[in-house]
């Protein structure tokens, strides 16, 4: 496995692989790799012949007061995980490679970024779409892999790639959960034991939602209020930032569950802000 620290070197590795006719896969990450990332890397290794994992804690997607400084950076452990998973190149640029000068050019996706996490993190998605555009331009992958856990991010990136005719396929991999149902996230490591236990109520609330819909409840308000009751049972959940039932494509709130919907939750628990979601297609249930 190679480690590329510069744009020039990663491009050389990819160019050599492409000249041998290899299909290039990219798993963009901010490091602190866990089993969720490993599932993306495994999907990339299965579908592609040459896999690049990028590790870059992107300052542009953190707002003021967010955890950019504290974000875990266990680089050697990350390299070991990549090596074991069969990655060909880890691209780990410094900030001077990704943001050479004051950045004046941004990629923003409208509408889809206004609700859900966009409400409390108004510059977050602009940071994500800009860095992903840079990574796609640098690595030029045939396929890029993202996780369903960050559902809004996945939908926004898919839309960006389609709207800007980016020549790559975006693959969304299922959410990986711990045995109690908690969605795996780098930010789970900020939690103490009690907070971790309480965090399992997030998935419990989503399961309850799924059950209510199976039982024929269709009013979003009724579903949200039942989910809220479940989250309130967890004393470490300090704030329910949102529980939303939205159209899975437009991300607009829906009054009634019909067709494909995304049910998404964000809560503040101890030092972490955690998100989770389920995608439901009532036309197929």
Give residues in contact with ligand PAF (CB under 6 A): 28-30, 58, 61, 128, 131-132, 150, 153
Which of 8, 13, 169, 20 has its CA nearest to residue 88?
Answer: 13
Q: 3-class secondary structure for 71-124?
A: CCCCHHHHHHHHHHHCCCEEECCCHHHHCCCCCCCCCCCCCCCCCCHHHHCCCH
Catalytic residue at 37?
yes
Residue whose CB is less far from ligand PAF, 129 or 236: 129
Tally Cβ neighbours within 10 Å of residue 2: 13
DSSP labels, 130-147: HHHHHHHHHH--SEEEEE
Please state the closest distance from residue 57 (CB atom) to ligand PAF, in A: 8
Residue whose CB is less far from ligand PAF, 40 or 278: 40
The Cα 235–Cα 199 span in angstroms is 10
Please state the closest distance from residue 150 (CB atom) to ligand PAF, in A: 5
The Cα 233–Cα 242 span in angstroms is 16
The Cα 117–Cα 264 span in angstroms is 10
Contacts of 224 (CB under 8 A, 6+ apart): 243, 244, 245
Identify whether the C-beta of residue 228 lies closer than 8 Å to the C-beta of residue 192.
no
The Cα 45–Cα 23 span in angstroms is 10
Please state the closest distance from residue 180 (CB atom) to ligand PAF, in A: 23
Tokens of 61: 């997607």
Please state the closest distance from residue 129 (CB atom) to ligand PAF, in A: 9
Residue whose CB is less far from ligand PAF, 4 or 132: 132
What is the distance, to the nearest Å, from the Cα of residue 252 to the centroid of all Cα atoms in its chain? 19
Of 4, 14, 28, 37, which one is the catalytic site residue?
Answer: 37
Residue whose CB is less far from ligand PAF, 128 or 224: 128
Residue whose CB is less far from ligand PAF, 33 or 267: 33
Please state the closest distance from residue 121 (CB atom) to ligand PAF, in A: 11
Q: Which of the residues are catalytic? A: 37
């Amino acid at each position: 496995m190679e480690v590329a620290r510069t744009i020039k070197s990663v491009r050389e590795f990819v160019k050599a692989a492409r000249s041998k006719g290899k299909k290039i896969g990219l798993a963009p990450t901010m490091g602190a790799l866990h089993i969720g990332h490993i599932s993306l890397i495994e999907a990339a290794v299965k579908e592609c012949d040459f896999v690049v994992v990028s590790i870059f804690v992107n300052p542009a997607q953190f707002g003021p007061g967010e955890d950019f400084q504290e974000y875990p950076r266990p680089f050697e452990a990350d390299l070991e995980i990549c090596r074991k998973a069969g990655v060909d190149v880890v691209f780990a640029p410094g900030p001077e490679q990704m943001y050479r000068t004051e950045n004046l050019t941004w990629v923003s996706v409208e509408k889809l970024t206004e609700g859900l996490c966009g409400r409390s993190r108004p510059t977050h998605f602009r940071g994500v779409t800009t860095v992903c555009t840079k990574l796609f331009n640098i690595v030029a992958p045939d396929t890029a892999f993202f996780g369903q856990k960050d559902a809004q991010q996945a939908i926004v990136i898919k839309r960006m790639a389609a709207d800007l005719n980016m020549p790559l396929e975006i693959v969304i991999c299922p959410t990986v959960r711990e045995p109690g149902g908690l969605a795996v996230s780098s930010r789970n490591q900020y939690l103490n034991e009690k907070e971790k236990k309480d965090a399992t109520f997030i998935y419990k609330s989503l399961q309850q939602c799924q059950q209510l819909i199976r039982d024929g409840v269709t009013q979003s308000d009724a579903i949200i209020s039942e989910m809220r009751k479940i989250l309130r049972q967890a004393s470490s959940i300090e704030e329910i930032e949102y529980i939303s039932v939205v159209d899975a494509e437009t991300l607009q709130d829906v009054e009634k569950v019909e067709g494909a919907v995304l049910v998404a939750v964000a809560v503040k628990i101890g030092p972490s802000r955690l998100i989770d979601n389920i995608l439901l297609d009532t036309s197929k249930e």
